[in-house]
Amino acid sequence: MKITNRQLSLRGLRTFCVAASHKSFRLAAEELFVTPSAVSHQIKSLEDELGVTLFTRSANGLDLTATGQALFDQTASLIRQLDEATAPFRSRTNRTTLRISVQPFFASEIFVSRLAEFTALHPEIDIHIDTSDESPEKHPASADLSIRLFRSAPAHLESDVLFPLRVVPACSPQLRKEIVGSGRKPKKPYPVVVHANRVVDWQTWSEGSGIEIPEPSNIVHLNSMFAVVRAAEQGLGVALVPMPLSEGRFKSGRLVRLYKDEIATPDCYHLVYAEDSRNRESVQALRQWVLETIAPAT
């Protein structure tokens, strides 16, 4: 898609990019400090200018049409570059903004809790964190940096390996008592909680530990790591929980290990950013802090 209409609203394009990155008019409104109806109106005006439909509504919320996805892919980086180019003229303090996409569980358990150190070191950098997308193997076009699970280093992007994803079977203390009785090994089949996108992790753990998993009494599939870990805490079943992200939950007693073996998966957390961002001081500042603070501590 090529945009040739010279009267096209730049404000509308920026609003569209924010709404497309969140797939939500409400979240876009919060970021832009406007009302959801204002976002909807700007998107409608942009659609009228282009003569196309950019979003459709589904049972899961807001989705981009094929045309909308193509427009987002071509304009998101351009809007970001324009914002960066004009930032010094819009602020006497020459503040910069970093947009970071982090998978939700990583953000909650590791990243956000330590971010105060970075903001204290760099008060001139404003941070926007997006945790709405849990998908692996992806660097959102709207993000300056992202922290994601990758099986191998992403092509055409700069990346640093932070640490491998390790998993260990865990459950609530009460469920463990029911499963093992007075011994140390499971005495009967037990319910299992499975991440719908990481079913193979159970086979990886079994092969790595040499322990054959018994046929589960029942299986619950969930599609987010937050939900999987929470279900394990609530006694719904035994789940493979990520380490070291779940360390605090073991220390607090909310989770206990059913087996001690902690097995590394083929996936690693990567810090990712675009090649054209390599020389940006703010990007390198965050990169250096993550490598010095988060990666070694895990």
Q: What does the pLDDT look like over 108-119, one tens digit per residue?
A: 999 998 898 998
Confidence grade of residue 228 (pLDDT, cut at 50, 70, 90): very high
Q: Which helix (H) or strand (E) holds 63?
A: strand 61-64
Confidence grade of residue 150 (pLDDT, cut at 50, 70, 90): very high
Q: What is the DSSP letter of 119?
A: H
Write down the mean pLDDT value for the chain: 87
Residue 192 is predicted with a pLDDT of 96
Strand partners, 57: 62
148-166 mean pLDDT: 93
Let me know: does 297 contact 278? Beta carbons within 8 Å. Answer: no
Residue 272 is predicted with a pLDDT of 95
Confidence grade of residue 185 (pLDDT, cut at 50, 70, 90): confident
Please give the Cα distance from 282 to 98 (Å, whole number): 7
Out of 32-46, 81-95, 253-267, 274-288, give the one with best mean pLDDT. 253-267
**pLDDT at residue 6 tops 50:** no
Query: Which tokens hold the place of 284?
Result: 């390198």
Helix (H, G, I), strand (E, B) or coil at 242: strand
Residue 91 is predicted with a pLDDT of 52
Strand partners, 166: 243, 264
Q: Which domains does the chain have, with CATH numbers?
A: 1-77 (1.10.10.10), 164-265 (3.40.190.10)
Please give the Cα distance from 109 to 143 (Å, whole number): 20
**pLDDT at residue 291 tops 90:** yes
Q: Is the pTM of this model over 0.95?
A: no
**pLDDT at residue 252 tops 90:** yes
Please give the Cα distance from 165 to 104 (Å, whole number): 15
**What is the distance between the terminal CA atoms of the chain, rounded to a whole angstrom?**
44
**What Å distances lie between residue 291 and 159, 162, 251, 269, 297, CA to CA?**
11, 7, 25, 12, 9
The residues, ordered by sequence, that sit 6+ positions from 210 with a Cβ below 8 Å of its Cβ are: none
Helix (H, G, I), strand (E, B) or coil at 81: helix
Query: Which tokens hold the place of 26?
Result: 């409400």
Let me know: does 239 contact 170? Beta carbons within 8 Å. Answer: yes
Residue 42 is predicted with a pLDDT of 87
